[in-house]
Structure 1
């Protein structure tokens, strides 16, 4: 292995998918600690690319490249959650690189005033509370798995450039079925769907993942809509051409229906 190749290999960042929680996550000490410990266990990124369930927009759209106000995309929460800030530096160089990598897949748009939404900044507050790492958010252009897999694959070279590629969502996301009490009983369909995801991701079974709507048990209850699941497909895409380990740094279910399962590739 040449010296440049060795340096690239040593610098390679993981690609990850995380369960981003709601703004209430910031009051969950155990979950905050898990996210913080995960960040500490990974190499420190030079910059972060966020693909959040809360921004689905076609074509692929690049968000703000300078520090702008956050997007408080939630309603009827206590006022303190609208006072949370995360003034991370913008990442204009990363934006240029993303445009270069994704250009061959189609048109890339820009939304220079679009700040980080809660699917992006809530986990970052927990993982990198200093807000001192440049962050760029890019939209999901579709909910179809196959194009998102290719999008992740196109973004994979960023990992060798010190960029942490993050898919942010939830493997299960059924708000109507959630039980917000602290002693909620976990629903069997949520457990079954979570176990299926764990098996498919651990085996890197891309065919099953792309066909999850037909193959996964309990999918209709687990995912009445699909925007929270599909960021994991992009994360898999960023790992698909690399033989590397798969780990689950955070697991467990909360509110009876939500799996906290998060995934690290590499």
Structure 2
């Protein structure tokens, strides 16, 4: 399976006139996964945690939205088989793995999945990010890479730029366009060192990501691609901006 990094948007993504169609077209060109492994910017938990492996209510981890966004359902099957594989791959001396069986999918997972796999008939497992350290997250991605040969689609779900506090009404802020252009070039050059040190080496890096949790899932994806020999310039099925933020999304393999 390929390894993906996607910008997951927010609940109103479903009402956008363009973005849902872009996500649907992307998924239509993918091989059908046996299961999907989601690493979302919205779940940080240490030690690394596995979410529900049975159908469990979604986590509506947002506030102040119209009521209909809290009625969205995504009843995908749980993924106990892939969960067992994840435990086997990740467990090592000094590297504990925990289970949180009542933790459902958060909006970083289900918002894009509703558009990409609307039938909700593919098992989905979400795991937490135990750290925001890019090097460690790449190691986790490398360790999880064998899942790709089992038909598991590994998805890092974040947002290519993310600073809600610095957005202004109308237009795309300069820090968002500057970081997006830098990231496009770094990815085309497969400059992993620059990406790992993005806070320092990118223009407006600390404005684009004042807290790095929305860029961090990219490094799980990069690690999974590297371990499988797919760390080349990715395709970009989705780009452009939404409410001033870069929705650049990537496919390796």
Same fold (TM over 0.5): yes
Task: State how far apart, in whole Å, the 2-side matches of 1:220 and 1:64 are.
Answer: 34
Tell me by how many angstroms 1:103 deviates: 1.1
Q: How does 1:100-139 map to 2 (within 5 A)?
A: 100-104=88-92, 106-139=95-128
1:246 paired residue number: 234
Task: State how far apart, in whole Å, the 2-side matches of 1:112 and 1:265 are.
Answer: 30
1:6 paired residue number: none
1:201 paired residue number: 187
**Preserved contact between residue 202 and residue 247 of structure 1 (Cα < 8 Å):** no
Q: Secondary structure of 2:155's partner? A: strand
Q: Secondary structure of 2:166's partner? A: coil
**Preserved contact between residue 171 and residue 229 of structure 1 (Cα < 8 Å):** yes
Distance 1:179 1:126, change over 3 A: farther
TM-score, normalization: structure 2?
0.96
Which range is displaced more, 24-33 or 238-247?
238-247
2:32 paired residue number: 44
2:207 paired residue number: 221
Which range is displaced more, 162-171 or 241-250?
241-250
1:237 and 2:228 correspond: no
Task: State how far apart, in whole Å, the 2-side matches of 1:74 and 1:254 are.
Answer: 18
**Preserved contact between residue 61 and residue 138 of structure 1 (Cα < 8 Å):** yes
* Number of residue pairs matched by the alignment: 250
Tell me by how many angstroms 1:206 deviates: 1.4
Task: State how far apart, in whole Å, the 2-side matches of 1:29 and 1:97 are.
Answer: 38
1:154 and 2:143 correspond: yes
**Preserved contact between residue 189 and residue 233 of structure 2 (Cα < 8 Å):** no
Task: List, as ranges, runs of 4+ consecutive aligned residues in structure 1 with deviation greater than 4 Å.
Answer: none
1:19 paired residue number: 7
Q: How does 1:163-178 map to 2 (within 5 A)?
A: 163-178=152-167
TM-score, normalization: structure 1?
0.92
Over aligned residues, Cα RMSD in angstroms?
1.1
Deviations 1:30-82 (A, max 9, x none): 10000000000111111000000000010100000000000000001110000
Where structure 2 has 5 or more consecutive residues not aligned to the other structure, the ranges are none
Task: State how far apart, in whole Å, the 2-side matches of 1:23 and 1:179 are.
Answer: 20
Where structure 1 has 5 or more consecutive residues not aligned to the other structure, the ranges are 1-12
Task: State how far apart, in whole Å, the 1-side matches of 2:59 and 2:49 are.
Answer: 15
**Preserved contact between residue 52 and residue 102 of structure 2 (Cα < 8 Å):** yes
Task: State how far apart, in whole Å, the 1-side matches of 2:29 and 2:177 are.
Answer: 27
Task: State how far apart, in whole Å, the 2-side matches of 1:255 and 1:23 are.
Answer: 13
Deviations 1:201-242 (A, max 9, x none): 222211111111111110121111111110001100100131
Task: State how far apart, in whole Å, the 1-side matches of 2:34 and 2:165 are.
Answer: 39
**Preserved contact between residue 73 and residue 117 of structure 1 (Cα < 8 Å):** yes
